[in-house]
Structure formats: C-alpha cells, structure tokens
Amino acid sequence: MSHTIEDLDPRTPVVVGVGQASERLGDADYRRRSPVDLAADAALEALADTGADTAAVVPAIDTVAGIRQFEISVPGARAPLGRSDNFPRSVAGRIGAAPRRAVLDVGGGQGPQHLVNEFAATIAAGGAEVALLFGSEAISTIEKFARVDDKPDFTEHADGDLEDRGYGLRGMSSRHQAAHGMTDAPTQYSMIENARRARLKLSREEYAAAMGQLFAPFTRVAAANPHAAAPVERSAEELVTVTEANRIIAEPYTRYVVAREKVNQGAAVLIMSVAAARRLGVPVEKWVFLAGHADLRERDLIERADLSSSPAAVTAARHALEVAGIGVDDLTTIDLYSCFPAPVFNITDAFGLSPDDPRGLTLTGGLPFFGGAGNNYSMHAIADTVQRARQAPGSYGFVGANGGIMSKYSTGVYTTTPRPWAADRSADLQAEIDAWPAPAEARQADGWATIETYTIKHGRDGTRTGIVIGRLEADGRRFVARGDDRDTGLLELLGAGEPAGARVYARSFGFGNRVTTTEAAMNALFPIEPAVLRDRYEHVLVRRDGHLLEVTINRPDARNSLHPMANDELDHVFDAYFADEDLWVAILTGAGEKAFSAGNDLIYSGSGKPMWVPKNGFAGLTGRRRMTKPVIAAVNGFAMGGGCEIALACHLVVADATARFALSEVKIGLVAGAGGVVRLPRTVPQKLATEMILTGRRLSADEALSHGLVNRVTPAGEALRGARELAAEILDSSPTSVRVSLQMMEETCGIPDVVDAVTHHSKALDELLVSEDAAEGPRAFAQKRRPVWRNR
C-alpha cells in the first residue's frame, strides 16, 4: 500500500538533517578540534542540511544523545588532554540548544543506528519531537599532543542532568579470556576469521586473497571521500602482503585490514516528527524515512554454537528488510560495518553478496580506510546513506552497524518514500536467540582436545603467542587456552596448514589453561613437582613436629598478604600435607603480630604484574581443594579480605585478642570471590554475614567467637600456642576417625533433610570399620592404655 505525505501520522519520525566534520594532522586547515568541537561542527552541518531556519530548529531540540568516545568507553581510561564531564550537553551548549533530555549511550559500534532506531520509536510514541544524535573522536590529535608541553586543554564542564547508560561491556570479554590473552578486538575477531576459513576449507593464501578482494573496493571509496582518514587506494594484494608498514597483528590480520582508530571525525543526525518538520519549515525533499530497523544481540563468543559467524546479526538484517517490506535485491546502497573482514563476510555469506557487487558494500570507505571513528563510525554511514537516498528518490539504503565481538547488531533501511512508522519484533527475536543452546564450557581444561579455532598474536617486539579455542575429547566441553612462550611446537602447528581439528593436549593452572602438541611436551614445560615438602620456601616457613605441620606465611612487611609466588608455595605445602600419611593436623598462621593475612597483595597487583591464584585458591585452601585432614588457622592480628577467606576455609580457628576479621573487598571495588560470599553466610548468622559482606564491617575476636566464626580466643600473641593445644587434642584421637568424620560431614552438608543425612551411606564408614585404628581403639580401652594410632 502506498502512502502520501498528507496521510502520515503527525508523529511519524523522519530524518531531516545529517552532517559530518573532520580534520587531518598536517592539513592546511587543521585546528586541533576537541571531540566536543567536532561533534558540534557536525551538528551545525546537520542543522544546515535541513534547509530550514536554524534559529527556529535549535530551540525545538528536546533531546540530545551522544556516542561514547573511546576515552570514556572503559573504566579507568585516560583522557590525556582532558574531556567534558557531560559530552551531550557540552555539544548542545556549543550550538545553543537547551534540551530537556541528554543521553550518553553505551559503547559499541551499533550505537549510532541503535540511537536512530530508539529515538525514531520515541518520537513515534510521542515521547519526543526533535532529537539530535551525534558522536566524534579526536584520537589523532590526542595522541599527537599527549606528551608535549604546548597541548590543547579539552577539559570542560556542562551543567544539566545526564542519562549515562554505562559502558555496555557485558560479554565483550571476561577475566578468564583476559588470562589467556583474549582482550583485544583483533585477537577475538581473528578467532572468528580462522573458524570461517576452516569451515570453508580454504588455504591461508586463498583466505588472505579473499580478504584483500573484499576490502580493495573499500579503499577506492575512501580515496574519494573528503572525510577519510586514509584516502589511499590499495590493491587486494597490497592489503594482505606483510611488509614493514603492513605488519601482521593477529593471524590472519595485517594492519591494513583492521579498523583505523586514529581519526579526527564527527557526525550528527537530526530526527523529528512530521508535525515538527512541517512546523519548522523543513522541505519535504529533505525527509528520509526509517522504513526498517532491528536491534539484536548475539550470544557471547564462547557460547556460540558456530564460532565462524553471527546468526543474530543476520537475523537483524533480515528483519529490518522484512519490516521495510523489501528484499536485499531492492537495495540501492549498502554500508556494512567493517572493523574487520569477518562482520562483512557474515552478511555477504548470508545474502549471497559479492565483494564486487556494483552497489558496493560501503558508502564511506569502511573502518580501515575511512577510519573507525570509535563507536561513531555508523553515524557517518547513516549520513551518507541519507544523502544518497535524497539523490535517488524512492530508493532504499541499508546500514548494518556492529558492536563488540560481532555481539550487538543494529540495522536500518532508509528511503524517501513516505512510510508510516512500523514497529519491529526485535524483543521476540532476542528471546529466541537467548534460548539457543550453548556449548558447555570448561574453565579448567585438562586432557586431550581438538582445536576449534585459533590465532597467533604478534607483538611489536617480535614475540608470538598462540591462542586456541578447543573442545575436550573426554566430554566435548569448550575451553580457551594459550600456548607457553617457550613452546615452538605449538607455534609451528598453528602457523602452517590447517590447525582446526588438530589434536592437542591441555592442562589447567592457577594462571590459566595451557595447550601443547603432546602430553610429553606439557610435562617438559611444566614438570609435575612431587607432593613432598621442600627443604626451603621463599615466602613460607614450615615446621614439622611429629604428626603436626606448622605453616607460617612469612611476609610480615606486607602484612602477610599473598602474591602469586606466595600462593603457589602455600599450595605446594598443602599438597604435601594432604599427601603425607604421617601428617595428621596442620596449623596455618602469619609471621609477626600485626596480621594473619591481609589477603591479596594489592601493591603487587597494582604494579601491573600478572595476578593469579592456584586452582586450590588463596593459600591453596579456599578453592576446589578437598580438605581431608584438619587445618587450624591461628589468627594473630588482622584477617582481612582474602585472609578472612583463608580462615573461613580452615576447619578450626583460634584467634588472639587482637584479631580482627573482615571481608573488606567492597571498600576497594572488589568482591570476596574466593569463597567469602559463600562460606561466611554458612558460618555466622545471615544478617551479620550480609552486613559484613556489604559494608566491610570488622568483627573483633570476641564477636567472632560469639557468632561461631572462631573456636577459641587466646590472650594477645598466643594464638599459635592456643592452636597447638587444640591440635594436640585432635592428635589424641584416631587420625582415621578424624578423616572419616570430616568426609562424612562434607558428604552430608548439602542434604537438607536430617533423616536423609543421618541415613546417608558413606563408603568412608565402611573403610573405617576395617581399619587398624578401629581395632586399636577398643583394644587399648579394654587394656587401659593409650592407643597407638596407625592412620590406616
């Protein structure tokens, strides 16, 4: 059904103005514009583009929404030249607008199209009349002047409220991925790229040629674009041939085929209702309608059934076309987000588009050549699409905007043909996507496995790091692992032929999963140390007294806080303790009088050095270790954060009068994730545990005793003596009975019904009844002598 301008609902949204601004270092008109300046320049261009009286349009702007710059897209990011504390209102102030609403959107390249979709719907619903959307980056200027004395100051304050939607980083990465080097976009996208190459059964040379053929036409478009950051036409071969200027970054990517972030660019889009456009005198020939739109989110990378594609992005593209009532063949212009080849291939594969499609796959020149203007690239694509739609009335233009690791995809279809606003079904489609099955993941991977996909990261210093995503042969669970820098065998496997499907050997450590070509290679790189006490440790003191083992954290100058080396030593000590049948009780304490342990060594972690804990947790105790023999914590002074978690993991706690217990992580923006948030509510009353976890409240030794966190309190400085007395009482009993008692307690702690727990059959009890200790105890009692325990 065709529609005319006259029969449209007055609230129908239309794009009425678009603008772009840019400058390049070294150009004659270069002015060191700030991100606010560039966005304001683009906004003024968009206002002028309406063909209406700017003086009338500016006061009508009721909503402004900004795209996050890179320097405000992650927590703790630096702004070397300063920044606005309210970017949207700073830009509004530059152009003289006083909107009632200001929005700073989440990060991600989907942002520009998402904002168009969102505020078009808001206008259609009557929630706004005139919305100005914009974004910018001045990364080239910022990097050039960051370390010089004569630098511009981009710091500014803007009054007014701000709807800050946060960073939007969920699912982009994780601590687990970071531990394996999968933090940067080229590394994660190269995993997708290599999975696609393996699926298509292409050689490395064939795939490189395909990437070059895909992007060579992009360079021609960029070369003719006055706003392009790198307006140089390059051949397909030049794009993928490794040279000093075109170094390899993460296989298969060379520098020329990844997004160029060093740009000074801004873009803006002005949307308003048909009623406002009429009232403000915007000529009808300037009106462009959003005929189709969709916003969908892909499963996180490790959860995707197919690592080579993003079906959610394809679904978003199909749905936008469906809402518009057209097919891909009806499009006149196409712009596909192109931070790397993979997002472009993802759409071309699904729709059968060719790299040499006469319509082209970009209007700007793409992120590697036009420039990836941070999260704002697609605002430029929208601006060009709108201009082209006006030049060919009745045509349709498509914009596909990608964010994250092919994680978030927003799409729009633009036309001058009058269209009533049509709602999309993105919410329903998202529910379907969220229900897609996901492979089970192995955070700790051990055993033989096959490679699903991989990459080799190349450092500027010549270092190479192999990273794989694989499946364990034993149960098919997916895992992430990296190679050891000393392992040339893995690099040879990943660097030639087809690694996908190859057999490798994985082993987990506290610092992450490692993968090698053979089990023998793994054992050579990481020799398995016998579980026998060493003669000497650097950070731990060990004293053996008969069947008692005393372990002292020996870092008093650091309040016995733990860094990776201390944790590894404690892990080994307790490996040896639990393996030694002649050791029956262990005591753990801290050197000096000030602290049992202050937990994680924040000074060490703050230095930027790698941090990890053993798989068995802080001190080798708080994690997955099965505590089959008693461990007593002798708490002298502070047991803070991880130190408190260690005490909670011990079977028994003796504290001196100076002891203080606290889970203080919330005070420094962390969480008691090494067992504290689990064990404390199971040890002290729920309300008290919640207060301690949420406020960092400290408990004195007497308070800890009254609430069951501590078994005994001694005078100041005598915690170790008290722990020895408690250990002696345990040692007076059968070690076999002690071990079996602990095992039965653990087996039944998760059984809620008391009768079921009491009648639970434990094999440990059967083993006790045929032990030597079970015979020795009654015999010694009858003979009125002390038993001689054998622990067997």
Arithmetic mean of pLDDT over the chain: 94
| CA gap 483, 465 in Å, rounded | 7
Strand, helix or coil for residue 757: helix
Pairing mode, if any, of strands 101-104 and 63-66?
parallel
**Four-CA torsion 143, 148, 149, 155, nearest 10 degrees:** 10
Q: Which helix (H) or strand (E) holds 777?
A: helix 772-782
Does 3.90.226.10 match the CATH number of domain 540-731? yes
> Per-residue confidence at 173, pLDDT binned at 50, 70, 90?
low
Across-strand partners of 333?
397
Which distant-in-sequence residues (6+ apart) come within 8 Å of 732 by Cβ? Answer: none
At 179 the pLDDT is 85
Select the more confidently predicted residue: 71 or 335: 335
> Per-residue confidence at 6, pLDDT binned at 50, 70, 90?
confident
Across-strand partners of 409?
296, 402
> Per-residue confidence at 1, pLDDT binned at 50, 70, 90?
low
CA distances from 466 to 178, 247, 459, 494, 607 (A): 14, 17, 12, 7, 26
| CA gap 282, 553 in Å, rounded | 75
CA distances from 754 to 188, 651, 746 (A): 50, 22, 14
CATH code reported for the domain at 447-525: 2.40.50.840
pLDDT for residue 764 is more than 80: no
Active site residues: 645, 665
Which distant-in-sequence residues (6+ apart) come within 8 Å of 328 by Cβ? Answer: 321, 351, 353, 398
Across-strand partners of 214?
none
At 171 the pLDDT is 65
CATH superfamily, region 5-175+257-434: Thiolase/Chalcone synthase (3.40.47.10)
> Per-residue confidence at 760, pLDDT binned at 50, 70, 90?
confident
| CA gap 117, 412 in Å, rounded | 7
* Residue whose entry in the numeric block shows the structure tokens 């089959």: 628
Give the closest residue to 468 by CA, choosing from 180, 178, 174.
Answer: 180
Assign 3-class secondary structure to 700-746.
EHHHHHHCCCCCEEECCCCHHHHHHHHHHHHHCCCHHHHHHHHHHHH
Average pLDDT over residues 477-483: 97
Average pLDDT over residues 711-739: 92
- Sheet-wide strand order for 101-104: 13-22, 264-273, 130-138, 63-66, 101-104, 163-164
At 73 the pLDDT is 84
Please give the backbone phi and psi of residue 237, each rounded to the nearest 5 degrees, phi first. -65, -40
Strand, helix or coil for residue 634: strand
* Percent of the chain clearing pLDDT 90 (strictly above): 82
| CA gap 519, 185 in Å, rounded | 31
> Per-residue confidence at 520, pLDDT binned at 50, 70, 90?
very high
pLDDT for residue 606 is more than 80: no
CB 400 within 8 A of CB 336: yes
Is the C-alpha dihedral spanning 64, 69, 73, 79 positive or negative? Answer: negative
pLDDT for residue 172 is more than 70: no
Which distant-in-sequence residues (6+ apart) come within 8 Å of 364 by Cβ? Answer: 221, 222, 225, 227, 228, 335, 370, 377, 380, 381, 384
At 177 the pLDDT is 85
Which two tokens mark 10? 């007055």
Q: Collect contacts of 222-226 with beta carbons under 8 A, ≥24 apart.
A: 222/364, 222/365, 222/366, 222/369, 222/370, 223/365, 223/369, 224/365, 225/364, 225/365, 225/370, 226/22
For the chain, domain boundaries: 5-175+257-434, 447-525, 540-731, 735-782
pLDDT tens digits, residue range 415-453? 999 999 999 999 999 999 999 999 999 999 999 999 999
Give the closest residue to 587 by CA, choosing from 550, 536, 533.
Answer: 550
Give the closest residue to 145 by CA, choosing from 262, 43, 258.
Answer: 262
447-525 shares its CATH topology with 540-731 = no
Which distant-in-sequence residues (6+ apart) come within 8 Å of 551 by Cβ? Answer: 540, 541, 542, 570, 573, 574, 577, 586, 587, 588, 589
Average pLDDT over residues 256-277: 97
Please give the backbone phi and psi of residue 290, each rounded to the nearest 5 degrees, phi first. -90, 95
At 748 the pLDDT is 85
Pairing mode, if any, of strands 253-254 and 333-336?
unpaired
> Per-residue confidence at 749, pLDDT binned at 50, 70, 90?
confident
Give the closest residue to 252 by CA, choosing from 345, 377, 350, 179.
Answer: 345
Average pLDDT over residues 158-186: 85
H helix count then E strand count, the chain: 27, 27
pLDDT tens digits, residue range 689-710? 999 999 999 999 999 999 999 9
pLDDT tens digits, residue range 313-336? 999 999 999 999 999 999 999 999
**DSSP 3-state helix, strand, coil percentages of the chain (rounded to 5)?**
40, 20, 40
Average pLDDT over residues 20-49: 96
CB 659 within 8 A of CB 699: no
At 718 the pLDDT is 95
* Residue whose entry in the numeric block shows the structure tokens 């650091």: 558
At 86 the pLDDT is 97
Which two tokens mark 479? 């895992």
Across-strand partners of 223?
none
| CA gap 378, 295 in Å, rounded | 14
Across-strand partners of 63?
101, 131
Assign 3-class secondary structure to 320-376.
HHHHHCCCHHHCCEEEECCCCHHHHHHHHHHHCCCCCCCCCCCCCCCHHHHHCCHHH
| CA gap 311, 514 in Å, rounded | 30
| CA gap 521, 510 in Å, rounded | 19
